[in-house]
Chain A
Amino acid sequence: MGLLSLAITLALAGANEIPAPAGLSFWAVQAVSEQRTEKYFGGGLEAVRDSLVDLPFDSFYLITATHQNIPFGRESRIAIDKRYTLYVAPVARDAENRLTLGLRLEVQPQKPGDRPIIALSTKVAFTSGKQIKLGGFRLDRGELVLVLAGR
Chain B
Amino acid sequence: MAECGRLYHVAALFDGEAALAPPDTAEHAATCPDCARYLAHLRMLRDGVGAVAETGVVTDGQFGAFLDGIRECIDAPVRGWRRFWTLASMTAAAVLIALALYAVFADFSDPARQVEATIVEAPYSELSGVSIDVQIGKDGNAVIWVNNAPNDVWYGTP
Contacts and interface: CB of A to CB of B under 8 A. Distances in A.
Interface of A: 51, 81-83, 96, 98, 107, 109-110, 117-127, 129-140
B142 A120 contact: no
Contact of A119 (B118, B127, B147, B153): B127
**Chain A contact residues: helix, strand, loop or mixed:** strand
**Chain B contact residues: helix, strand, loop or mixed:** mixed
Contacts, number: 103
A138 B142 contact: no
Contacts of B156: 110
Given A83-B155, A110-B153, A117-B154, A134 B144 contact: yes
B88 interface: no
Contacts of B127: 107, 117, 119
A120 B124 contact: yes
B155 A120 contact: no
Interface of B: 114, 117-127, 130, 132, 139-147, 149-151, 153-158
A135 B126 contact: no
Contact of A124 (B114, B120, B124, B151): B120
Nearest to B124: A121
Contacts of A136: 130, 145-147, 149
Contacts of A122: 120-124, 144
A119 B125 contact: yes
B99 to A, nearest CB: 22
15 contacts: A82-B158, A120-B132, A120-B146, A121-B124, A121-B125, A123-B120, A124-B144, A132-B120, A132-B142, A132-B143, A133-B144, A134-B144, A134-B145, A136-B130, A136-B146
A81 B147 contact: no
B109 to A, nearest CB: 10
A134 B145 CA distance: 6
A121 B144 CA distance: 10
Given A120-B124, A133-B144, 18 more contacts: A82-B158, A118-B125, A119-B125, A121-B125, A122-B121, A123-B121, A123-B122, A130-B117, A130-B140, A132-B120, A132-B144, A133-B141, A134-B146, A135-B143, A135-B146, A136-B130, A138-B150, A140-B157
